[in-house]
Structure 1
Amino acid sequence: MTTASPTAQRRARPSPARRALTRLRRRTTTAENRLALALVLFSITVAVLVSYFPEQTPFTSLVLPIVLGSILLGPRTLPWFVIFDMGLLTYCVAQQQDLSARTVGAAAVQFLVALIVLLTSFHRARLGVAGLRGETMFVDLRDRILDQGTIPRLPEGWVVESALHSAGGTAFAGDFVVAARSADGRTVQVVVVDVSGKGEDAGTRALLLSGAFGGLLGALPAAGFLPAANDYLLRQDWDEGFATAIHLWLDLTTGDFEVRTAGHPPAVHRQGATARWSVLRTEGPVLGLVADAEFGVERGRLEPGDDVLLYTDGMVEEPSRDIDDGIDRLMATVDVLLLDRSRGLAERLAERIGSRDDDRAVLAVHRRG
């Protein structure tokens, strides 16, 4: 008799991760089966009450199990539950002794609701989870990815603020911010990105890109980020997959900085000692359109009291107004807002200027004097 070697036995034995996943699937399936059974019993109870106690139980109560099922059940169980409830509804209609026009209308509306829920369940089958669970997963994914845009903790003497406002006030936007600090803590890199489209239309692409760009930002030197981001977008081969970006590398010890742009509005630098502004214009193509693109760089130094601002075009572009006029207005507004530094500059700036029909993002870096 041949005995398997210890190595072969280890290979045949499921890994701890696979066993844990199997247990999780079993628990999920068992919980959903119990929930489906509870809803079936609830449906039968409602059907009995409607059939035998019509004066005390509204006929429209039959829609309650269908609505609850659409919220709680997964796409595999929900169609069968809806069909079962439609059968109960047909039985209750047949038990009515006086089929008035109102009762027929109520039954027709409930059949229509059941049909809508049934069609929705087929659409949800692409995701594979129930309604509330799918929404929770999506919100959790959004929050986890957007956490990458949280500005890392900086040493004393530095203030970095960011603000993001989406078109229409939705929770999803085509603009996002990603930041990463070096392992030795000496430098920080920040990128502000504007994905093609706006609001919810660009939100899914922005979620994907923010995760990818967050990984690139922490793994590459300053000069390598935009070329790598451009290559990544080209590989996606999206029909509408381009994006503009502005990248800032900052030495937290000396104040030296480098700015690079990819088809993006330029950064602006304010000298605290003289209150003079300078526009940091650099050249670079939009991400995702041109292979082997090259990106120019503008270098400078933030002295104590200086500020530098990165922003998206929603902050400076409006119909029938030149972008340079928008940049001038932004700098003038900042001068006014800086009279009171006790409140956040970025958030106040995003609320005061920019187009309400476009996503708006702004990041402000200040070196305390």
Structure 2
Amino acid sequence: MNTSGGLAEVRRIGRRVDALVRRARRSHQLAFAALLLTTLVGSAFGLAWPSQVPASLLVIPLLLGGLLLRFRQLVALTLITLAAGSYVIMSRPPELPRTGFVLVLGIVGWIVITSAKVRSRLGVPGTRGESMLMELRDTLTAQGELPDLPPGWWADSAIRSAGGATFSGDFVVSTTRDDLLEVALVDVSGKGIDAGTRALLLSGAFGALLGVVPVEEFLPSANQYMRRQEWDDDFATVVHVAVDLKTGDFGVRTAGHPPAIQFDAWSGRWQTRDTDGPLLGLMETPEFEVNRGQLKPGDALFLYSDGMVETPRRDIGRGTDRLAGHAERLVAQGFQGGADELVDAAGGPGDDSAIVIIHRKPHG
């Protein structure tokens, strides 16, 4: 038996089915006509061969309609299916159950219409709304990817949303220009899906500002953008770092965000890079201080969100020490893969957690 040939045939069928589904999503009239025809043919078969064709067959086009049709088309299909199903059932012998099937078919139709009505508020039919959310999630993830760095440098990031959601209120934007690396880790108020939509909006805006405005103007410009949104109680915290990839000199600025921490490879000590700056979106013309330092060969700089260090039972200071303790174990491996390990080890389960590691590799 040719197993590879059978698998290839299955793949071809799968591709054809996927293509038909995509075409049906684009052509709602064609999908409506096909499902209506399926309903009528299924009803005719049910009348002709009542013992061989189950009346429950009519549920299938109804469920497919909930995935492919616009709201009005779905309502029309549901009413036609309910009428056809009732006629088929009533035409069968009286000893067969009737009322139960009609009731079940009506409940299924109500569930499908209710779900479609919620999606129709987005102006997109069927599962296109879910597909849009997936595309937005992928966009947010792609924007958080760190750029490729020259030899001698390495960077990594990891983000985990509260409750296992795919959307997070934490996000990362970064860019390189000439020999300057800029990274901003942003924490939007709220968590999970509630903060995900605002995070998506801000990630596009902050990503556009980063590398375009001067380093010292990034946080003021981001604050002005948030002020224009006129969000009542929403705000964002940011830690922004600019690193000269030739000399290792860097400057850290924060807006209501936990400070960065630096690992000094020469002394083996950890240093907190404290700066002062208000939350974004609350003040008209805030000032943001800068904390300057240098990454020598072997050093590393850590940016993280409050979900990594703060819990209801633990303040930021103790949480920062705990994070440094976990990161200490990664020194021997050069912090490779450390972002994911630290999020798993130190991230709080009830809050979004994010971390960025910038490491200057030791000579040789």
TM-score (normalizing by structure 2): 0.88
Pairing partner for 1:51 from 47, 53, 58? 47
Corresponding pairs, count: 340
Question: How do residues 9-20 of structure 1 correspond to structure 2 at under 5 angstroms?
Answer: none
What is the Cα deviation at residue 260 of structure 1?
Answer: 0.7
Give, in whole Å, the separation in 2 of the partners of 1:310 and 1:30.
44
Give the SS at the match of 1:309.
strand
Question: How do residues 103-182 of structure 1 correspond to structure 2 at under 5 angstroms?
Answer: 103-182=98-177
Give the SS at the match of 1:321.
coil
* Contact 2:55/2:89, CA 8 A, preserved across alignment: no
Pairing partner for 1:85 from 61, 81, 101? 81
State yes or no: 1:295 paired with 2:291. Answer: no
1:143-169 deviations in Å (ceiling 9; x for gaps): 124312211111111000000111122
Q: Which residue of 2 aligns with 1:243?
A: 236
Q: Which amino acid aligns with 2:220?
A: P
Give the SS at the match of 1:159.
strand
What is the Cα deviation at residue 132 of structure 1?
Answer: 2.5
Q: Which residue of 2 aligns with 1:67?
A: 63
State yes or no: 1:283 paired with 2:272. Answer: no
Question: How do residues 199-348 of structure 1 correspond to structure 2 at under 5 angstroms?
Answer: 199-341=192-334, 343-348=336-341
Q: Which amino acid aligns with 2:80?
A: F
State yes or no: 1:36 paired with 2:29. Answer: no
Q: Which amino acid aligns with 1:115?
A: W
Q: Which amino acid aligns with 1:366?
A: H
45-54 or 319-328: which moved more? 45-54
Q: Which residue of 2 aligns with 1:14?
A: none
Give the SS at the match of 1:63.
helix
133-142 or 213-222: which moved more? 133-142
Give, in whole Å, the separation in 1 of the partners of 2:69 and 2:193.
26
253-262 or 113-122: which moved more? 113-122
58-67 or 30-39: which moved more? 30-39
* Contact 2:155/2:357, CA 8 A, preserved across alignment: yes
Give, in whole Å, the separation in 2 of the partners of 1:84 and 1:216.
54
Give, in whole Å, the separation in 2 of the partners of 1:83 and 1:225.
57
Q: Which amino acid aligns with 1:139?
A: M
Question: Against the structure 1 CA distance between its residues 119 and 352, is the aligned structure 2 distance closer, same or farther, given a 3 Å change threshold?
Answer: same
Give, in whole Å, the separation in 1 of the partners of 2:279 and 2:356.
20
Give, in whole Å, the separation in 2 of the partners of 1:249 and 1:189.
4
TM-score (normalizing by structure 1): 0.87
Give, in whole Å, the separation in 1 of the partners of 2:279 and 2:47.
66
What is the Cα deviation at residue 95 of structure 1?
Answer: 2.2
What is the Cα deviation at residue 99 of structure 1?
Answer: 6.6
Give, in whole Å, the separation in 1 of the partners of 2:285 and 2:106.
58
* Contact 1:231/1:291, CA 8 A, preserved across alignment: yes
Q: Which amino acid aligns with 1:234?
A: R
1:303-335 deviations in Å (ceiling 9; x for gaps): 111110000011001221121110001111111
* Contact 2:25/2:69, CA 8 A, preserved across alignment: no
What is the Cα deviation at residue 30 of structure 1?
Answer: 7.7
CA RMSD of aligned residues (A): 1.9
Pairing partner for 1:94 from 90, 94, 102? 90
| Structure 2 segments unaligned to the other structure (5+ residues) | 1-22
What is the Cα deviation at residue 201 of structure 1?
Answer: 1.4
